[in-house]
Amino acid sequence: MTINRQIILSEYPKGMPQAEHLPMREGEMPSPKDGQVLIKTIYLSLDPYMRGRMSPAKSYAASVELGDVMQGATVGQVVESRLDGYEAGDYVLGFGGWQEYSVQGKEMLRKLDPKQAPISTAVGVLGMPGFTAYAGLLEIGQPKEGETVVVSAASGAVGQVVGQIAKLKGCRVVGVAGAPDKCQHVVDVYGFDACVNYKDDDFEAQLKAACPDGIDIYFENVGGKVFDAVMKLVNDFARIPLCGRIAHYNDTEAPQGPDQLPAFLTK
């Protein structure tokens, strides 16, 4: 094998990213230097934060440079090692990006034991999405038994973990998702008490019915119409861990009204 297929960022998208912004190229197979390993990618985590990496705007992390491989966390297997403590065949969590093979150093790697858990969980419940759910809900949300917790993007990698932790804390948990099968999955598999489809015409009525005692914690992943509907139901002293607002990541101008701020400030 001498070819390494890669997805690069060729242009910063304005609005919704298109295929031409992320073309595939064939690059040379990288070779590890002393202190590095060559890794074959098995799993790649595709996360909402990556949209921010596709923008030159200042953010909490550097943008991907045009012409570079698109960033992303990866689970892979060591093919060749020139790093003490790592051998060919080891499974590792790293930051290899959107490519078949990557060269990485020790500072970006963590060994994985497939006997402890499936290696895919390192970019899921036992990785960044799980840590985000755990810290966001418990540190900021501070759930208490009997409270009502609403989770947007409830079928996603972060949302489904938030809901399950909230259930363990004795809360009533209501999910919001964008399709009937997603809502059914959230209830049947993840154990939420209810889940409503934000695309339904009567979404706001369904959400109100699912939260008869109001909302004490809203774990925000989406923004948009879901946020607007939740704000009408939040209780005094409600907490809102702000994880994401994916409904707005591709906005090219300020969202249209109505202005919800006056009503929000008088609650």
Give the pLDDT confidence of 173-213 residue by residue, as tens digits. 999 999 999 999 999 999 999 999 999 999 999 999 999 99
Predicted local confidence at residue 123, as pLDDT:
96
How confident is the model over 138-170, as pLDDT tens digits? 999 999 999 999 999 999 999 999 999 999 999
Predicted local confidence at residue 171, as pLDDT:
98
Alpha-helical segments (H) within the chain: 50-53, 128-135, 159-168, 180-188, 203-210, 224-231, 261-265
Range of the domain at 132: 128-265
- Any domain includes 104: yes
Q: What residue has token string 């409600």?
A: 238
How confident is the model over 50-69, as pLDDT tens digits? 999 999 988 888 999 999 99
pLDDT surpassing 80 at residue 262? no
| Structure-token pair, residue 45 | 């985590």
Predicted local confidence at residue 199, as pLDDT:
96
- Any domain includes 66: yes
Which letter, b or e, does each residue of 102-141 get, where b requires 16 or more Cβ atoms within 10 Å of its Cβ? bbbeeebbeebeeeeeebbbbbbbbbbbbebbeebbeeeb
Burial class from Cβ neighbours inside 10 Å (0-12, 13-18, 19+) for residue 89 reads exposed
Contact 93, 110 (CB under 8 A): yes
| Residues 257, 156 share a domain | yes
pLDDT surpassing 80 at residue 259? no
Of 50, 79, 111, which residue is a domain's last? 111
Task: For residue 81, list its beta bridge partners.
Answer: 37
Q: What are phi and psi of 61, to 5 degrees?
A: -140, 155
The number of distinct structural domains making up the chain is: 2
Predicted local confidence at residue 267, as pLDDT:
57
Residue 72 pLDDT class (50, 70, 90 cuts): very high
Least confident window among 27-41, 48-62, 249-263: 249-263
Percentage of the chain beyond pLDDT 70 is: 96
**pTM for the model:** 0.89
pLDDT surpassing 80 at residue 260? no
| Residues 143, 258 share a domain | yes
Of 80, 111, 142, which residue is a domain's last? 111
| Residues 140, 75 share a domain | no
Predicted local confidence at residue 173, as pLDDT:
98
- Any domain includes 132: yes
- Any domain includes 176: yes
- Any domain includes 122: no
